[in-house]
Structure 1
Amino acid sequence: MSIRAVDEAPLNKFHRKLTWACAGGPFLDGYLLSIIGVALVGMSGELHLTTGDESLIGAAALVGIFVGGLFFGAVTDKLGREAMYTIDLAVLVGVSVLSVFATEAWQLVVLRFVLGIAIGADYPIATSLLAEWVPNRHRGRLLGILILAWYVGAAAAYTIGYVMAEIGGHGTWRWMLASGAVLSALILMMRIGTPESPLWLVSKGRTADAQKAIERAIGRTVSIEDLLAASAAEQAVEQSRFRDLFQGVYLRRTLFCGLFYMCQITPMFALYTFGPTILGSFGLSEGNGSNLGSALISVVFVLGCIPALRMVDRVGRRPVMVWSFALMVIPLAVLGGGNALPVAVVILCFCAYALFSGGPTVLEWTYPNELFPTGIRATAGGVATSISRIGAAAGTYLLPVSLDRLGIGPTMLIGAGITLVGLLVSVAWAEETRGLTLAEASAMPGRSRSAAAGGDRRDDLRESGAERS
């Protein structure tokens, strides 16, 4: 079972506000990670950047995300979702402001690395908070909206970058980076005052605080007995430590979440970071025209997420995941034809890949939050993010090198191969969690629903909770 008052509550103003506030982080992530691709054109000439410098600047944020996800997911499980929820946004504001004044390549590398740490921290923070507040029947769709916000942010970055470059030329790259500080400050204000997750509060024995949070957010009163029962269902003492992510069935789930995530975003991040360069390699106009092309492709990524948002709660997680990966391989394989392909075919393939990628995209944060219990939920999300960024950082760093040495065709075929690995991982390990409560979805295979609903630990937790409260 779960906290019935939360799980069965109708969607209300609180849920909508929380969704938008949580989505603000991924929106910023998409914006900040994509605006650098537009700004690189201008800063490269002004700061005399080499190809190696550009690769380091492009990959630094992804390395930071690896560190941020790995470390701050565990911190979030220990300290709570609410405090970390605003701190990471404050860091984004500060780093974006400092980036405006950078005069050396190494300064941008360091600032982008710190920015990546804050982004990596936000992924498990915002997604676990939303997953633990929203009703069960809407969980897949609302978590999917968060990743949809990422693509909206990326499209906004290319659009704003295009407009700035049209008005002031590529010398406006500092203003492009400054725009991230303004957006970060606005979303930070949206997040102030968000209540803590009741499941996390109960897991720490703070049942009275959980009662107050639920009553304040959705206007319902829940007894301490119900809260203790929910805690017994959500977690097990023996599965609440970092090392448990790498043991037994949780090892398989950790590998699944990290690997499918990595195989989905490795080609995607390379496309976003060096979108204008890639389109130029196919014979499309480089410069600001290719920025507009990247913006249009970003819009198609958004459109691809929309049907997937509906299907994950209606058709199921597993079929959406498997079929999407299978279809994503095709356009990347066609792009292996290189610059001999007609421009229309190139655009069609990029758009097809963007549309088909909606399935794995909207499940990037759904699966980690459903397959692990409350005590390690944010930790699992952070580890999955970190695993994914190993490939994303390597792909972003190596893409310019691959374009120079291998050419655009072989580079696209490598992307197709990575996507094929994602398909194989999904076929082998993707579980179906549609319609399950968080307790049922995160339970060990073979455990009965009654065991997932609390088992023998309920009396122990009731006694412990009574002592603490």
Structure 2
Amino acid sequence: MSGHLTRSQRLDELPYTRKHNKLLMGSGVGWALDAMDIGLISFIMAALASEWQLSSTELSFLGSVGFVGMALGASLGGLLADRIGRRQVFALTLLIYGVATGLSALSTGLVMLIALRFIVGLGLGAELPVASTLVSEFAPRKIRGRVVVALESFWAVGWLAAALIGFFIVPMDNGWRWALALGAVPAAWSMVIRFGLPESVRFLEGKGRHNEAEQVVSKFEEAAGVTVRDEDKAPDAPLQAGAKVTKRELFGPRFRTRTIALWLTWFGINFAYYGAFIWLPTLLSSEGGMNLRDSFEFTLYMTLAQLPGYLAAAILVEVWGRRPTLVTFLGGSMVGAAAFALAPTLAASIAPGDDGAAYAIALTAGCVLSFFNLGAWGALYAITPEVYPTAMRAGGAGAATAFGRIAAMAAPLVVPLIVGAAGRATLFAVLGAMFAMAMVAAWFLPEYTDQALDEV
């Protein structure tokens, strides 16, 4: 390295090291635990529909209330992370939702469970955009997108854990309580997050805490075996009052187009994903003729298709770029949703009366949907932290995430209405239309592959 390098530039040019891996694993395990929590509710809804004799309306509120909290948590968590730091907010949110999930296992009725699911959503909604922001600000420039997609891939691990718990534990007597009790694990993990991970260098510099920022960068350089002479280091930039971008500028001339595009992308993918996956086990058992255990098994197989989807996206975000990868995977998700909608018709045409063929066709369509949908999520999380500059990165990402959670909140409420009025095929046609909207919006996002975050 030569020339006057800022700390951010020094981080950008480092090779991937064990320090990066520790950050990725520490954030990723928290991410997986989050996915496990959200995934479990889809299985628990199916179990409680029978055990508590809940109506579709009651199930809708149970499925959506967590997203109400997530919408609020995403917005507040992002703003708070820009004020007090990424690491602190990450740990606090893990603690909040971990404790609330554990307490949910003791719920004596629907009202108590709904109230606790709202608190769970507060913590969960704030954690996700903060974690992706923290990881993106440390990742080496040339593989930043790949590292963020790798972080997102932990979601598939968590959802797979939820599917396994749903398959083996939830069908047992009081199995849903044992499943929720496992959600207390994040409470302990929050302490590891708080004391084991570094704070964002860009955040520290923005707050004038240059000595702390230098210590963090030096540790990463030491792990990479890199030494930078003092004369090659850029001097500390003085703080400038009023220099930071205000949240009002999200819709100002500079950021309006990217903000609208980002929000619509988040809205479409949230509605389609949670509209499908939160209700899927219940729909398969009530509308698809499967028993509870078979519906859980079907969902488990679909979940396995998420892992190669993430892997493909992790490679392509650096080869094709963030935006082309996101658009392509959203298009594939649209095709998967359409195929799932047409699966019964295709089965009746190809092998009428053959239940095995009908199952195979539906599962294939579901796996296509799962593969492309989760790959699209990975690309979206890679591009989102790059849309805004450091001063508003977590806040901007949190605002987009919060807007998406409105769709996640609405989807569980709307799904039974669509199914009741027009059937499951129409539901997945609507979900395909949401993917199409997100795909069009994503074309208007900026492309910053292989560029430093400071150039945004």
With structure 1 as the length reference, what TM-score do the two structures score?
0.87
1:192 paired to 2:171: no
In 1: Cα distance, 2:296 partner to 2:190 partner: 25
Query: What is the one-letter code of the residue matched to 1:348?
Result: T
Query: What is the one-letter code of the residue matched to 1:189?
Result: V
TM-aligned CA deviation for residue 371 of structure 1: 1.5
Aligned-partner SS, 1:195: coil
User: Any stretches of 5+ residues in structure 2 without a counterpart?
Assistant: 348-357
**Aligned pairs for 1:308-319 within 5 A:** 308-319=313-324
Give the counterpart of 1:412 among 428, 433, 440. Answer: 428
1:202 paired to 2:205: yes
1:360 paired to 2:360: no
In 1: Cα distance, 2:104 partner to 2:229 partner: 47
Task: Answer whether contact 1:253 1:371 (CA < 8 A) is retained.
Answer: yes
Equivalent pairs: percent with the same residue? 26
TM-aligned CA deviation for residue 313 of structure 1: 0.8
Query: What is the one-letter code of the residue matched to 1:208?
Result: N
Task: Answer whether contact 1:211 1:223 (CA < 8 A) is retained.
Answer: no
In 2: Cα distance, 1:352 partner to 1:45 partner: 30
1:306 paired to 2:306: no
Give the counterpart of 1:228 among 232, 236, 240. Answer: 236
User: Any stretches of 5+ residues in structure 1 without a counterpart?
Assistant: 443-469
**What's the Cα RMSD here?**
2.3
Aligned-partner SS, 2:149: helix
In 2: Cα distance, 1:164 partner to 1:216 partner: 43
Match of 2:184 in 1: 181
1:347 paired to 2:360: no
Judged with a 3 Å threshold, the aligned counterparts in structure 2 of structure 1 residues 227 and 269 are, in CA distance, closer, same or farther, namely farther
Match of 2:27 in 1: 22
In 2: Cα distance, 1:44 partner to 1:279 partner: 13
TM-aligned CA deviation for residue 181 of structure 1: 1.1
Query: What is the one-letter code of the residue matched to 1:396?
Result: P
Match of 1:438 in 2: 453
Task: Answer whether contact 1:88 1:121 (CA < 8 A) is retained.
Answer: yes
In 1: Cα distance, 2:106 partner to 2:374 partner: 37
In 2: Cα distance, 1:412 partner to 1:201 partner: 45
Match of 2:416 in 1: 400
TM-aligned CA deviation for residue 45 of structure 1: 3.5
After TM superposition, the structure 1 stretch with the greater mean CA deviation from structure 2, 60-69 or 244-253, is: 244-253
Judged with a 3 Å threshold, the aligned counterparts in structure 2 of structure 1 residues 350 and 38 are, in CA distance, closer, same or farther, namely same
Task: Answer whether contact 2:75 2:398 (CA < 8 A) is retained.
Answer: yes
**Aligned pairs for 1:63-78 within 5 A:** 63-78=68-83
1:132 paired to 2:137: yes
In 2: Cα distance, 1:404 partner to 1:209 partner: 58
TM-aligned CA deviation for residue 193 of structure 1: 2.6
1:182-220 deviations in whole A, cap 9, x for unaligned?
A: 255246435533121111111111111111122234425
Judged with a 3 Å threshold, the aligned counterparts in structure 2 of structure 1 residues 304 and 284 are, in CA distance, closer, same or farther, namely farther
Judged with a 3 Å threshold, the aligned counterparts in structure 2 of structure 1 residues 45 and 314 are, in CA distance, closer, same or farther, namely same
Aligned-partner SS, 1:84: helix
In 1: Cα distance, 2:235 partner to 2:135 partner: 18
**Aligned pairs for 1:77-226 within 5 A:** 77-165=82-170, 168-169=172-173, 171-186=174-189, 188-219=191-222, 226=234
In 1: Cα distance, 2:47 partner to 2:367 partner: 27
Task: Answer whether contact 2:90 2:193 (CA < 8 A) is retained.
Answer: no
With structure 2 as the length reference, what TM-score do the two structures score?
0.89
In 2: Cα distance, 1:379 partner to 1:285 partner: 44
TM-aligned CA deviation for residue 236 of structure 1: 10
Match of 2:294 in 1: 289
Judged with a 3 Å threshold, the aligned counterparts in structure 2 of structure 1 residues 79 and 322 are, in CA distance, closer, same or farther, namely same
Give the counterpart of 1:385 among 401, 412, 417. Answer: 401
Task: Answer whether contact 2:69 2:120 (CA < 8 A) is retained.
Answer: yes
After TM superposition, the structure 1 stretch with the greater mean CA deviation from structure 2, 181-190 or 149-158, is: 181-190
Query: What is the one-letter code of the residue matched to 1:367?
Result: I
Match of 2:354 in 1: none
1:407-446 deviations in whole A, cap 9, x for unaligned?
A: 111111111111111121123x032211111012x2xxxx
After TM superposition, the structure 1 stretch with the greater mean CA deviation from structure 2, 410-419 or 46-55, is: 46-55
Give the counterpart of 1:329 among 334, 344, 349. Answer: 334
